Amino acid sequence: MPRDTPTRPRYETELAEPVTAFLESQGYVVRSEVNGCDIVGLRDGRMVVVELKRNFTVTLLAQAADRQRVADAVYVALPRPGEPLRGKRWRILRHLLRRLELGLLFVSFSAGKPKVQLVFHPAPFDRKRDHRRRQVLLHETGGRSSDFNRGGSSRRKLVTAYRENALHIACALETVGESSPAALRALGTGPKTRAILYDNVYGWFERVDRGVYRLQSAGREALAEYPDLAEHYRSEIRRLR
């Protein structure tokens, strides 16, 4: 089926008429602007509330959550976005709405009459933990020796547990010169030393003989990029030597 070309409405009131018509087609008696609620629908003793917004905002979520105190079901109605609905942003937003047990309506504005798309109804949310992702998070957090990142930063590459381990190895090679994985492990570089050297993900290391590696210029540049972390490991290596 051809997809509607999204057109942004100028005012939230432009969403009201198609949403009202949609609810009326479902048998609801609809009234607008009732005690702060944008749209209220009644059918057989059941009350639904729809909050209208031109954009997805925290204010919209706060209003919709407040309406849950009085309504049997609460929906948010938004213009159909132009971006792919399977993109990361909308996957997160859909999950958030489901977690808050809110329903979602999209209003498509194209040539002709606006159309309402029911994306999903409000429903109880099963708050199960994602144990696989939890283990990944625990492993990554526990694998870092200290906090070498700044929360919210984006200019410098993040110091992951793997990158930290590779920088530790780079510091050791800078200190002792050409060396074997076993000798580096004696300087505290850890059990993954051989694999990190062999894989050489960042291009920092060079194998000069069987089981012998040295630091390349790219590795020295990386140490200069993370001076605080490099000094931390230089101190550790000097202590162990």
pLDDT at residue 159 in the model = 77
Domain ranges of the chain: 13-120, 149-240
Please tell me which residue, 28 or 90, carries the higher pLDDT value: 28
pLDDT at residue 155 in the model = 58
pLDDT at residue 43 in the model = 95
Q: To the nearest whole percent, how much of the chain has pLDDT over 90?
A: 57
13-120 belongs to CATH 3.40.50.300: no
* b/e code 117-132 from CB counts within 10 Å (16+ = b): eebeebeeeeeeeeee
The tens digit of pLDDT for each residue in 56-83 reads 999 999 999 999 999 999 999 999 887 6
The distance from CA 84 to its chain's CA centroid, rounded to whole angstroms, is 16
pLDDT at residue 194 in the model = 96
* b/e code 9-38 from CB counts within 10 Å (16+ = b): eeebebbbebbbebbeeeebebeeeeeebb
107: β partners? 79, 116
pTM of the predicted model, to two decimals? Answer: 0.59
Residue 185 pLDDT exceeds 90 = yes
Mean pLDDT of 192-199: 95
pLDDT at residue 147 in the model = 66
**H or E, element range at 75:** strand 73-79
**3: confidence class by pLDDT, cuts 50, 70, 90:** very low
Whether the CB-CB separation of 4 and 110 falls below 8 Å is answered with: yes
What is the rounded distance in angstroms from the CA atom of residue 140 to the CA atom of residue 143? 5
**150: confidence class by pLDDT, cuts 50, 70, 90:** low
Whether the CB-CB separation of 103 and 116 falls below 8 Å is answered with: no
pLDDT at residue 1 in the model = 35
pLDDT at residue 139 in the model = 74
CA distances from 11 to 15, 78, 197, 227 (A): 8, 11, 59, 52
Mean pLDDT of 222-229: 89
H helices present in 81-160, as ranges: 88-99, 131-142
**151: confidence class by pLDDT, cuts 50, 70, 90:** low
What residue has token string 């060396």? 179
